[in-house]
C-alpha cells in the first residue's frame, strides 16, 4: 500500500499525473514558440510536473535508482522555474531562465516517458531490451535534439507582456 492505495492504483495515478505534466508542458512549450502565455496552463504544468517527480519517490526501492536522480534534478530545475515565474515574474534574465528550466523539466518528463515506453510497450521493448541498443539511443537523441532546438527558439521568441 502506498498512500492508502494499492501499488497498481498508485502507479496509474502517477502515470496520469505524468501524462498531464507532459501534455500541459507541450501546450506551454507551444505557447513559448508562438509567443502566447497561459498562466493557468503554466500552473498546471509546473504543479503536475512537481507532483510527478515527488510521487516517483513513493515507489518501493532498495537503492537509489536513475529515476531518483532524474527526479531530484527535475525538482531542482522546477524550483528555479517556479521562482523565476512567480518570484521574479519572468522579468529581465528571469524570462530566459524560466524558459530554459521549464523546457528542461519537460524534457526530463519526456526522457522518462521514452524509457518507460521502451520498457513497457510490447512492440518497442524487443527493439531495445536493455536500453543500450541503437533504437533507444536514436529515440532519446531525437527527443533531446527537438528540445534543444525548441529551447533556443523559445528563449529568442517568447516575450510575454
Rounded to 10 degrees, the C-alpha dihedral 110/112/118/120 comes to: -110
CA distances from 42 to 9, 51, 82, 92, 120 (A): 27, 14, 10, 19, 29
Q: Which residues pair with 5 in a beta bridge?
A: 2
What confidence category does residue 90 fall into, taking pLDDT thresholds of 50, 70 and 90?
very high
| pTM listed for this prediction | 0.92
Rounded to 10 degrees, the C-alpha dihedral 140/141/144/150 comes to: -130
* The C-alpha cell that represents 119 in the structure block: 520498457
What pLDDT score does 60 carry? Answer: 87
What pLDDT score does 146 carry? Answer: 97
Task: Say if residue 3's pLDDT is above 90.
Answer: no
Amino acid at each position: 500500500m502506498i498512500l492508502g492505495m494499492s501499488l497498481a492504483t498508485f502507479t496509474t495515478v502517477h502515470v496520469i499525473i505524468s501524462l498531464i505534466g507532459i501534455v500541459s508542458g507541450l501546450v506551454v512549450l507551444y505557447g513559448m514558440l508562438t509567443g502566447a502565455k497561459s498562466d493557468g496552463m503554466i500552473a498546471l504544468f509546473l504543479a503536475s510536473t512537481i507532483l510527478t517527480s515527488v510521487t516517483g519517490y513513493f515507489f518501493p526501492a532498495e537503492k537509489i535508482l536513475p529515476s531518483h536522480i532524474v527526479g531530484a534534478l527535475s525538482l531542482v530545475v522546477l524550483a528555479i522555474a517556479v521562482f523565476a515565474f512567480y518570484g521574479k515574474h519572468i522579468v529581465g534574465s528571469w524570462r530566459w531562465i524560466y524558459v530554459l528550466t521549464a523546457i528542461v523539466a519537460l524534457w526530463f518528463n519526456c526522457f522518462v516517458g521514452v524509457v518507460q515506453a521502451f520498457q513497457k510497450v510490447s512492440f518497442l521493448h524487443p527493439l531495445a531490451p536493455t536500453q543500450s541498443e541503437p533504437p533507444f539511443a536514436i529515440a532519446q537523441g531525437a527527443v533531446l535534439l527537438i528540445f534543444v532546438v525548441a529551447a533556443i527558439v523559445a528563449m529568442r521568441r517568447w516575450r510575454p507582456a
